[in-house]
Amino acid sequence: MRCDIQVNDVVVAIGDVSLVASTQVQSANDLLKGPAGSEILLRISRIQQDGSTLERDVRVIRELEFTGDGGHTGSMKESDMSFMSRIWFWWVNGLVAIGYRRAIHEEDLYALEESDKAYSANLRFEAFWKAEVETSKRVGRPAKLIRALYLSIKKEFLLAALLRLLTDIVAFTPPLFILGILQYLNSSPANPSNFTATDAHLLAAGLFVAGVFKAVFENWHYHLMFRAGMNLRSAMISLVYQKALRMTPKARQISTTGEIVNLMQIDTQKILDNAQFIHILWAGIVQIGGAVGLLIWQLGWPAVIGVLMLMFLIPANAVIMWPLTLYHCW
């Protein structure tokens, strides 16, 4: 296989230079003709060689690290990836491959989206915070910080809530599919089933499809909420820092530097940690309600006795474990 690009058009990645093993001709051609071609040509450096052609082994100056969509990790953003690559998080494979071969450096990381940068998150939050302060003055009530925080991530919050709901709904489908398969397997001429062999095969395939959709919905839910929590943390750090700069000498005597640093590091980190699991507060109720509903549907109202027993054991377990905890503390 020939290529019209000579070996003196060798691709060189920007960064530390280190000589690595040669790349075969076919893989080099595939790399140049693939979706990475445009990105590669932007990074080529003409190095004079002794008349060799690309049909011979190409000696690469630095090990090329490309994402699943062909872009170098240092110059690509998530929004630059294809739709399917983003859905399946395939674009992360390039970074994982780099981490497998060597330690990851800062230049290997993907570029941040503009909306994820600290100044963007801060400007977005400040706009809602100023609007909340003006509204509170107009209606005569205290300004609520939580309202401004929510409005700054409202889109991601609601989309993540929808994905969380879809995750819980899909999680209840495998037991129903298994029920249909068991009914077909237990069928007999005396006790025929409503499911045919084709239905059973479709239900078996549905188990796999349900697992795939559950994984996609759940991981995208956590991805959105982690990103939202990260933006909230950046905004709160900026807010605390700006407040610290405006503090009077008298106020500085009350709040020490250590307390301010704790607010900026530890307390804001709690916002990031809790943002990822905030939807579990209501999703847990949906999961418990759905599980109880399925038990009552299959076992009848006697299943309520087991549920009541479980509810009784939760506080009983807390009462029993509390003295044991105090004993161990002594």
Tell me which of 54, 83, 111 is where a domain ends: 111
Do 13 and 139 have their domain in common?
no
Do 185 and 282 have their domain in common?
yes
Note the pLDDT of residue 301.
Answer: 84
In this prediction, what percent of the chain has a pLDDT beyond 70?
76
Do 291 and 313 have their domain in common?
no
pLDDT at 72 over 70: no
Do 141 and 248 have their domain in common?
yes
Note the pLDDT of residue 34.
Answer: 52
Is residue 65 within 8 A of residue 40, CB to CB? The reply is no
Note the pLDDT of residue 258.
Answer: 81
With vertex at residue 318, the alpha carbon angle to CA 315 and CA 322, rounded to the nearest 5 degrees, is: 150
pLDDT at 230 over 90: yes
pLDDT digits (tens, 9 = 90+) for 286-311: 998 999 899 899 888 888 888 888 88
Residue 217 or 62, more confident = 217
Do 139 and 211 have their domain in common?
yes
pLDDT at 179 over 80: yes
Note the pLDDT of residue 330.
Answer: 60
Do 193 and 253 have their domain in common?
yes
Instruction: Report how far apart, in Å, the C-alpha atoms of 224 and of each of 80, 127, 160, 168, 306 are.
Output: 17, 21, 6, 17, 37
DSSP designation for 45: E
Note the pLDDT of residue 74.
Answer: 55
Chain-centroid distance, C-alpha 205: 27
End-to-end C-alpha distance for the chain, whole angstroms: 77
Do 305 and 175 have their domain in common?
no
Number of other residues whose CB lies within 10 A of the CB of residue 147: 15
Note the pLDDT of residue 328.
Answer: 65
Do 159 and 285 have their domain in common?
yes
Q: 226 lies in which domain range?
A: 118-299
pLDDT digits (tens, 9 = 90+) for 126-151: 999 999 999 999 998 999 999 999 99
Q: What is d(CA 199, CA 176) in angstroms, rounded to the nearest whole number?
A: 13
At 106, the amino acid letter reads: E
Question: Long-range contacts made by residues 297-306, C-beta under 8 angstroms, separation at least 24?
Answer: 298/179
At 23, the amino acid letter reads: T
Do 258 and 129 have their domain in common?
yes
Note the pLDDT of residue 30.
Answer: 52
Residue 270 or 54, more confident = 270
Do 259 and 310 have their domain in common?
no
Do 155 and 280 have their domain in common?
yes
Note the pLDDT of residue 94.
Answer: 86
pLDDT at 105 over 60: yes
On the CB side of 276, how many CA atoms lie within 13 Å of its CA?
12
Q: What is d(CA 313, CA 136) in angstroms, rounded to the nearest whole number?
A: 45
Q: How many domains does the chain have?
A: 4
Note the pLDDT of residue 241.
Answer: 87
pLDDT at 97 over 80: yes
In this prediction, what percent of the chain has a pLDDT beyond 90?
35
Q: Provide mean pLDDT across the span 35-53.
A: 44
pLDDT digits (tens, 9 = 90+) for 3-33: 333 333 333 333 333 323 333 334 444 555 5
Q: What is d(CA 47, CA 10) in angstroms, rounded to the nearest whole number?
A: 7
Phi-psi category of residue 86: left, alpha or beta, with phi > 0 → left and psi -120 to 50 → alpha? alpha
pLDDT digits (tens, 9 = 90+) for 241-269: 888 888 888 877 787 778 888 888 888 88
When the pLDDT of each residue in the chain is averaged and rounded to a whole number, the result is 78
Do 127 and 19 have their domain in common?
no
pLDDT at 282 over 90: yes
pLDDT digits (tens, 9 = 90+) for 157-174: 999 999 999 999 999 999
Tell me which of 48, 83, 111 is where a domain ends: 111
